[in-house]
Structure 1
Amino acid sequence: MGCRKRAPASELLRIVAVGDGAGGFSLRPDPIRRLPGRGANMHPDPACFAQAVRRRAFGRALRITGVIDHGALAEHTDAPTSTSGQPDRARDR
C-alpha cells in the first residue's frame, strides 16, 4: 500500500480499521489475518508505513472517511511518531 510493490501475502502485514464510535478510526495490525472487516496489506516496514501515511493511502484502501489514528500501527512497524500520531517527518529528510 505504501510503496505499491507486489509481494506474496505471507510477506505483508494485514491492516484493519476499527471504529471508535465518534466517526474516527484506529488502524490495527492483523498479523494472523483473522480480524473482521475490510483489510489492506503493506510491507511491515517503517518506510512503507510513512509513505502510506504521506499518500493518505489508508483511507482509500480501507474505504473509510474521518480521522484515522495511526498510533498502534506505527508502534507495530517501529516507525517513529510525533505527538499527533503522525510519522515523524524529520526522520524522512
Structure 2
Amino acid sequence: MESVRTCIGCRSRAPRSSLMRIVVRESRVVADVSAVLPGRGAWLHPTLECFRLAERRRAFGRALRVSGPLDATEIENRLNG
C-alpha cells in the first residue's frame, strides 16, 4: 500500500506519487523529484493553485521549519512550465 502525505497548499491527503516533495537548499525552496534529498521535506500537489495557497498561508517556512525569507521562484517557474 502506498504511503499518504498531506499537501501543504490545499491540506488534502493524497498518495505520495501524486505529490511533489520540496526541500530547502540555501534559503531556496527546490523540488526533490526523486524524493531522496536530505533534510526535512514537505509535500505539494504539482499545481499553481496549491502553490499559491501554500504561499498565501506561509506554509513553506512552517512545514520546512525554516525561519526567515524563502525563495520559492524555482517551484513557481517549474509549475508554470
Structure 1 segments, 4+ long, off by >3 Å, are: none
**Normalized against structure 2, the TM-score is what?**
0.87
Unaligned regions of 5+ residues in structure 1, if any? Answer: 20-24, 80-93
| Amino acid corresponding to residue 44 of structure 2 in structure 1 | M
CA distance in 2, matches of 1:42, 1:34: 16
SS of the aligned residue for 1:7 comes to: strand
1:12-91 to structure 2, matched below 5 A, reads: 12-19=19-26, 25-78=27-80
Unaligned regions of 5+ residues in structure 2, if any? Answer: 1-7
How far did residue 67 of structure 1 move?
A: 1.1
Structure with max Cα Rg = 1
**Normalized against structure 1, the TM-score is what?**
0.76
Identity of aligned residues (%): 47
RMSD: 1.1
